[in-house]
Structure 1
């Protein structure tokens, strides 16, 4: 099944790949290891999971303004996600997406954390503010309401 989500493009560009979804906000400073692209916040649901080369889908950023610096480091070290799709636009998440230089979309017409599942194939068009999801199974009508 294919579904389109429309929102606000934050960083232009086009990327597609496998989704990695978090229901929890992500901390940059102390929450990720930029050298490996891994979530290191011990109580986070993605603890130990690498986001490198994935479309990172999450509610938004938490923590200090250091968030953007840590995500910029992932770009410099080659460990950045392919794209970012986040529910809540904040200065931290917007600046983080800009310095990471990956396509990013936010403020979608439906909550991407509820619609997209880890493993789904996702195309992010940051210029048009469009996220296209090809689901991988377990599809129920409730998922797409």
Structure 2
């Protein structure tokens, strides 16, 4: 059974893929390696984990306005996430999604996608309609792909 989360579409497009969930905000400025598509914040729960080709689900962005430049570099280098789903809509996060040009949904009201989606779930992000559907649950919710 598919569960749908209704939010606000920020960047259009529809994709389906594997979710990578972070319970912590992500620093784009110095917190990611755009050449590898990897989180490099030493104390981050997803340190050294690749978001490339995954649907990145996270609370939002932290750090400076350089966040968008680093995420734009992932698009240019071919290491960008497949889509972005985030809880808190901030100018940093929205600008990063726009320059990365991946389908993005945010503003889910009382529902937090970080709590609803698990790493490894297969999700469909519809940035046109603002819908994130959990298509299939991960077999092992504890596994974090590298």
State the aligned residue count: 139
Q: 1:91 to 1:36 in 2, by over 3 A?
A: same
Judge which range, 1-10 or 121-130, deviates more.
1-10
Q: Which runs of 4+ in 1 moved over 4 A?
A: none
In the alignment, structure 2 segments of 5+ residues that lack a partner are 142-146
Deviations 1:62-95 (A, max 9, x none): 0000000000000000000000000000000000
Alpha carbon RMSD of aligned pairs, Å? 1.2
Deviations 1:78-115 (A, max 9, x none): 00000000000000000000000000000114100000
Distance in 2 (alpha carbons) for counterparts of 1:5 and 1:29: 29
In the alignment, structure 1 segments of 5+ residues that lack a partner are 140-145
Distance in 2 (alpha carbons) for counterparts of 1:58 and 1:128: 20
Matched with 1:73 is 73
Distance in 2 (alpha carbons) for counterparts of 1:31 and 1:64: 11
Matched with 1:142 is none
Deviations 1:22-66 (A, max 9, x none): 000000011000000000000000000000000000000000000
The offset of 1:136, in angstroms, is 2.4
Give the TM-score of the pair, scaled to structure 2: 0.92
